Chains A and B, each alone.
Chain A
Amino acid sequence: MALEGKLVILREERQEDLRPLVDLRNDLDTQAWSKTLPPDYTEHMYLQRYEGREFSYQRDDGRFIIESKESGEFAGTISYTGLEPRWTAMIGIMLDKKFWGGGYAFDAQEVLLEFLFQELGLRVVRLFTHSGNPRAVGLAEKSGFRVSVRQRESVFKGGQLYDNLMMDLLREEYYAAHPDLEDNLPPVD
């Protein structure tokens, strides 16, 4: 069973994805981090990262390519990191501007969240963004995330100071918003 939504499929990274991944990283609008990176990443750097991934059953991350179901095109990337098994992980997303506004990011986010809550049995999923990125805040809120930490003036980007935001989504909040899914994970409290 693939990780599939209405508009997208989440699949493994392939060598042919390296060029569009470089393009996402080198665009200040899409590179997504609170830390601005120099837009000089190369395919060679991404090849090193790609080839540096080692086989393991004990990984604490998952990295997916977002592919348009309709066209099969590369639409972006979505990942989770810092997995604490059966507890939490942090998610992040970058979407090609060509696909902005079409519901692809939300669809990809929902597919990943279903995987994290239904398959990995997480209790809470978190993400970081900043107050200068209302698109990211809105996208997260659409899936039920809320701002839980607002660290003041701790991000500097585009000549401005912004608040660093940590947003989180609790397991029961996710299931309350998805009545079609049943939560059978035994409670811990």
Chain B
Amino acid sequence: MLTFQNQDVLLRAIEPQDVEGLLTYLNHPALTGRRYLPWGFPGELPLSRQQVEKAVEKWRGEERGAHLAITLRVSGELIGHAAMTWGWDPHCPDVALVIAPAHQRQGYGSDTLAILLRYLFENTPAHNVSSWMGDWNEAARAFAQAHGFQECGRWRRDGLRQGAYYDTVQVDLLKAEWLALQKKEVGDGAGR
């Protein structure tokens, strides 16, 4: 059965009522430069309610992908947002996810990524899934690596941060690699 939930999180469509929650965590200092917004929205400046409303409207209107609210299954609390978009080519979609600082390091990012990848590799023609993060974002790079992504290059000089240029690291994951990881996880689980 196609499902966008596991025992802890439920991914659902982003709705206008999410603006309040998004506004709160997107403006959290810990998310500066790592909050994943539509192209052209500021990555580091304080966001107004109007800007968040515009972002939500853009996400809700996505026709070639999905932008999803990450919520806790039990309480329904909004704890982050995620995206999978494929533009004109579902052969190589992108994924992105943001977890509110108060809910990080509890496995919700891994839960979300697992749901997104399973959807893409089992329900769409996806062959190569990619994502991006600033080279300074060691946590995101380690997270991607831990989930099987490889660094496939750098967008050199993609921005400026604290007085220095930074590169954006691109990572990708092939379907065959994802399938091998699934088998390994099943194997590891069976061995316990």
| Total contacts A-B at CB 8 Å | 61
Main secondary structure of the interface of A (DSSP, over half): strand
Whole-angstrom distance from the CB of A169 to the nearest CB of chain B?
9
Answer yes or no: B105 CB below 8 A from chain A CBs: no
Contact between chains at A166 and B91 (CB < 8 Å): no
The reply to whether A153 and B128 form a contact with Cβ atoms under 8 Å apart is yes
| A148/B172 in contact, CB under 8 A | no
B34 interface residue per 8 A CB criterion: no
- CB of B155 within 8 A of CB of A151, answer no
- Kindly identify which residue among B92, B127, B157 contacts A123, using a CB–CB cutoff of 8 Å: B157
Residues of A within 8 A of B130 (CB): 151, 154
Interchain CB contact under 8 A, B92 and A148? no
- Is A154 a contact partner of B160 (Cβ separation < 8 A)? no
Evaluate contact between B155 and A166: CB separation under 8 angstroms.
yes
The answer to whether B153 and A151 have CB atoms under 8 Å apart is yes
* Residues of A with C-beta under 8 A to B188: none
Cβ contacts under 8 Å, B88 to chain A: 35
Contact between chains at B91 and A154 (CB < 8 Å): yes
- Given known contacts A147-B153, A149-B153, what 17 new A-B pairs fall within 8 Å (CB)? A35-B89, A123-B157, A123-B165, A149-B155, A149-B170, A151-B92, A151-B130, A151-B153, A154-B89, A154-B92, A154-B127, A154-B172, A164-B92, A166-B153, A168-B155, A170-B156, A189-B163
